[in-house]
């Protein structure tokens, strides 16, 4: 029987489905070194955040037939290296859409109303915080969506439907016609868009092109009332510039689910700022989202191991 290794817990239904056809290895408490020692004996790998599959790991996994990415982001897999080795990489492009979009919407609303600050102060007995904190409404505001893929469009849909927000979209990989047909304003320059919007929400992968896409110039253009939401990847934002922006009032606040690096250090200045809402990289972590992602990646891993064509293949060249 073939073996599939999973480095972190995924939905129980996915593990159950895998167990019908393969032996499932679940070393969730193992160290990175211990997991590496297990790689030579497995034919399938389901990869969650916290581990990478680069050339060195692929060298260890001499019997590997498929890499399954539990999620939509492919930055932790060296796709070129896998393709060179004729190794299929399957992933879950639709799995986290709803969960992540809802979480980004939550972060936006929480940042606008300074929710975490108010919650903390009330718990500490400071009911009179209400005398000094005033939030803001987002109805009819302008939102800039950076990355107009599945998650970005779903987030934009929520903003428009719930709050009648005007949507601007920045995505060099999406045609202007697609953006305009959707009903958004096409933006071809980040700073110019930042000057026009009240909120920027990020929905892009971590690549060389997106590294520090949000920098000092963008943050200053966003302005002292502007909000930044990041439920994509930490390196998309120049974190040092963001910290300065929040401290010095270049922007009004931020809602962050991701950091650079992860996990953030205990002395990260973001933790001491009142104008931040912070969560621990779990935007896609809902019961429904985890079940979708788990079953999607499980089924495609099994398809490859059976010699069948998978549904969601990141490197179709291998076929």
**Cα distance between residue 106 and residue 130, in whole Å:** 21
Check 192, 262, 274, 288 and give the catalytic one: 262
- How far is the first Cα of the chain from the last one, in angstroms, to the nearest whole number? 24
Per-residue DSSP letter, 317: G
List the one residue out of 124, 106, 125 whose CA is nearest residue 115. 106
Cα–Cα distance measured from residue 265 to residue 269, given in angstroms and rounded to the nearest whole number: 9
150 catalytically annotated: no
Q: Annotate 34-80 with DSSP letters as a single string.
A: HHHHHGGG-SEEEE-TT--B-HHHHHH-TT--EEEESSS--TTB-HH
Element (H, E) at 303: helix 287-305
Q: How far is CA 2 from CA 30, 43, 58, 87, in A?
A: 21, 6, 17, 16
Tokens of 82: 């896998």
Tell me the C-alpha distance between 277 and 248, whole Å: 17
Quick check: 112 and 141 in contact, CB under 8 A? no
Active-site residue, from 11, 103, 203, 233: 233
Is 262 labeled as catalytic in the residue annotation?
yes
At 66, phi and psi to the nearest 5? -160, 145
Can 120 be counted among the known catalytic residues? no
b/e code 223-244 from CB counts within 10 Å (16+ = b): eeebbbbbbbbbbbbbbebbbe
Q: Which residues contact 64 (CB under 8 A, 6 or more apart)?
A: 39, 42, 43, 44, 45, 58, 87
Residues carrying an active site annotation: 233, 262, 281
């Amino acid at each position: 029987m073939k073996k599939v290794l999973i480095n972190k817990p995924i939905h129980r239904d996915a593990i159950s489905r895998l167990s019908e056809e393969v032996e499932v290895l679940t070393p969730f408490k193992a160290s990175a070194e211990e997991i590496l020692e297990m790689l030579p004996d497995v034919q399938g790998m389901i990869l969650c955040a916290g581990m990478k599959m680069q050339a060195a790991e692929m060298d260890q996994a001499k019997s590997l037939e498929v890499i399954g990415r539990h999620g939509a982001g492919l930055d932790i897999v060296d796709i070129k290296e896998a393709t060179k080795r004729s190794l299929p990489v399957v992933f879950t492009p639709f799995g986290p859409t709803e969960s992540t979009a809802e979480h980004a919407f939550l972060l936006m609303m929480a940042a606008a109303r300074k929710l975490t600050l108010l919650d903390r102060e009330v718990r500490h007995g400071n009911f009179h915080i209400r005398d000094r904190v005033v939030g803001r409404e987002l109805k009819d505001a302008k939102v800039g969506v950076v990355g107009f893929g599945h998650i970005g469009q779903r987030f934009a849909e929520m903003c428009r439907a719930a709050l009648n927000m005007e949507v601007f979209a920045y995505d060099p990989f999406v045609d202007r016609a697609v953006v305009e047909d959707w009903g958004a304003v096409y933006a071809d320059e980040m700073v110019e868009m930042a000057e026009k919007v009240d909120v920027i929400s990020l929905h892009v992968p971590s690549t060389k092109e997106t590294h520090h896409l949000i920098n000092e110039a963008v943050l200053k253009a966003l302005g002292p009332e502007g909000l930044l939401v990041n439920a994509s990847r930490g390196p998309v934002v120049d974190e040092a510039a963001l910290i300065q922006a929040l401290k010095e009032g270049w922007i009004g606040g931020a809602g962050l689910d991701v950091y650079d690096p992860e996990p953030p250090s205990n002395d990260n200045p973001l933790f001491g700022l009142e104008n931040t809402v912070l969560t621990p990289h779990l935007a896609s972590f809902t019961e429904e989202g985890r079940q979708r992602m788990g079953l999607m990646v499980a089924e495609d891993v099994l398809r490859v191991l059976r010699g069948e064509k998978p549904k969601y293949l990141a490197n179709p060249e291998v076929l």
